[in-house]
Structure formats: C-alpha cells, structure tokens
Amino acid sequence: MSVAFDNILNFRDVGKTVNDYLDRKLVREDVLYRSARPDDASPTDRKRLKNELGIKTVVDLRTKTEHLKQAEKRQAPQSEASALVQSNTTLAEPVRIPGLRYRHIRVTGRRFERFLLSQLSWWNFFKMIFLFLFGYRTQAISLVSQEVMLLRGLVGMGLITVDESGAEIAEALRALIEPASLPILVHCTQGKDRTGLIVVLALMVLNVPAEAITHDYMLSQAGLEPEREARLEEFREIGLTSEWADCPQHFVARVEDHINTKYGGINGYLDSIGFEDPERQRLIEVLGA
C-alpha cells in the first residue's frame, strides 16, 4: 500500500503491500518501509515519519556522487531548486530528522565499482580516472554508463549487484533484524532498484510468492511518475536512456532465476555473502507475520 506525503515519493509499507495483494498475513506490517530519497521531506512529512509511523532508522543506499548532486540542488536558489521544495521552513530544516538513526550503506560498493572499471577499455579507464581526479564526476560516470551499463541493461546491473555487492547487501539485511532499528525506512534515490533488490531478498527469505514480490516492485512505476521528467534528465546527464526510469516486469523473476541457478537458491546465496542461517531465522522472526 502506497502512502501519500507532501515531498516523499514511492513510499509504502512493504508488509501491508504484500499482505493486501495476497489477501493473507505473511509479512509483519508497520516495521519495514521503502521510499525514494526523503531529502526534501516537508516539516509535516518529517513529523509523520517520526511520530505517526514511529520510524526509528533510515537506511540510505546511495553513493557519494548522489549525495553531492543533492547537496548542489539544495544550495541552488529556490527558484531553480526542485519543485518539491515548498517553503523557507523546509529549506531551513536539516536533511536529517532529529531523533532518527541514520545508516549509510553504499550498496554498490568497492567491489562493484572495481568490476565496472574492469569492463572499460584501457583508454576509457585512464580517461575516467582523469575526470574523477579533476572533479568531473558526472562525466566520469557517463563514460561508465555508455561503455558498461547500457550494454547490460537495468536488470543486468541488478544481477551484477547481487554478485559483486554481497558484503553491502548483508549489511543492509542485518539492519532489518536489529531490534532497536525498527520500524525502518530503506531508500536510495528512486527507491526502485537498489531498495527493490534488498526488499526482494528479504521477501525471498520469508518465502513470499514471486508474484507478490513483483507486485511490490512494480508499484514504483506509478510511485515515481510525478517526477519522471526530472529523473529522465538526471539519467541523461550520466549517459543513460529512458528505460532506466522504468520498472522491468521481469526484474524479480530474473533475480530469482539468477540466484537459483548460480547459488542453488536464496539460502545458498545468503550463505555465500555471510548472512547465514541464524540471521535468516532472526529476519523471519522480525519480519514474518
């Protein structure tokens, strides 16, 4: 079920979304939420997150480059800033909500980055290093986008994340089983793919049917529609096409098939990244209905 906020897109209670779809209680409600970046949350939004929903922890899966990009937007004159910024009160508020715990887990970490760099030609590898060293982050990322990411597509990059970001995925899943962390909000920039992947894996542990997991993932298509044009502009800046703003219908099926084929199933995959049976049982206790 999606929840409406002033300035937070793609927000929903994962448990209620799955349970409503299945018409039975399989996932605990009111403990695991997902959304797009909450950076521009209005004062009312912040009160609702903290007081009404009781959220204690926010897990941010974004990269440093994404944080820098958002900081640039916040520092721009209000007339040029995101249309979501509504008032001077909002501008004056810090991005973080006082009293909430924040965890930054860059899910596309060092190993993931090394893999992408290994796919570049020698010329473009040194060109990208030069661009990064001189502060041209967007241009450097665009180079990787055009030579590596576009060839593999959004789903392919999701599968690479599964293979190359095991340590970060395990860290994100551990955040879900810490008693003091709940209720918890997980987000990235769109709350679609990296957030979606963490939610997919957690729901697989809970033995949620694939069609219900797909239903939850696909809700991001409509959940992000209000800022689609702005997102398309961001994707074009880093060399990606409009398809990256969409939710592929087969995303969940491809992830499940990849995990089953390469790792022998979700338990085999999670064993390989160090999220072993005791932690999986704890996740079932915490998130299972």
The model's pTM: 0.89
Residue bearing the bigger pLDDT, 96 or 281: 281
Could you give the count of Cα atoms lying within 13 Å of 232 in the half-sphere of its Cβ? 8
Query: Position 40: which residue type?
Result: D
Whole-number pLDDT of residue 88: 38
Amino acid identity for residue 253 in this structure: A
pLDDT reported for residue 77: 52
Do you know the residue count of the chain?
289
How does DSSP classify residue 124?
H
* Spatial distance between the Cα atoms of 116 and 252, rounded to a whole number of angstroms: 22
Nearest Cα to 74, choosing from 126, 119, 37?
37
The rounded mean pLDDT for the chain is: 89
Structure tokens at 242: 């409009």
Alpha helices in the chain (DSSP H): 14-22, 43-47, 64-75, 88-92, 110-118, 122-133, 137-144, 150-164, 166-175, 194-205, 210-223, 228-237, 251-263, 266-272, 277-287
Question: pLDDT-derived band of residue 223, with 50, 70 and 90 as boundaries?
Answer: very high
Phi, psi of 38 (to 5 degrees): -95, 20
For 53-84, the pLDDT digits (tens) are 999 999 999 987 777 666 666 665 544 444 44
- Joined tokens for residue 206: 């809970």
End-to-end Cα spacing for the chain: 16
pLDDT at 136: 86
The mean pLDDT of 269-279, rounded to a whole number, is 98
My answer on whether omega of the bond before 77 falls inside 30° of 0, hence cis, is no
Confidence bin at 132 (pLDDT 50/70/90): confident
- Mean pLDDT for 81-102 is 58
Phi and psi at residue 13, in whole multiples of 5°? -85, 115
User: pLDDT by residue (tens digit) across 10-32?
Assistant: 999 999 999 999 999 999 999 99
Provide the CA 194 distance to its chain's centre, in angstroms.
Answer: 3
* For the chain, percent of residues with pLDDT exceeding 90: 74
Strands across the sheet containing 101-104: 12-13, 32-35, 184-187, 57-60, 101-104
The answer to whether residue 86 scores a pLDDT higher than 70 is no
The CA distance from 186 to 198, in Å, is 9
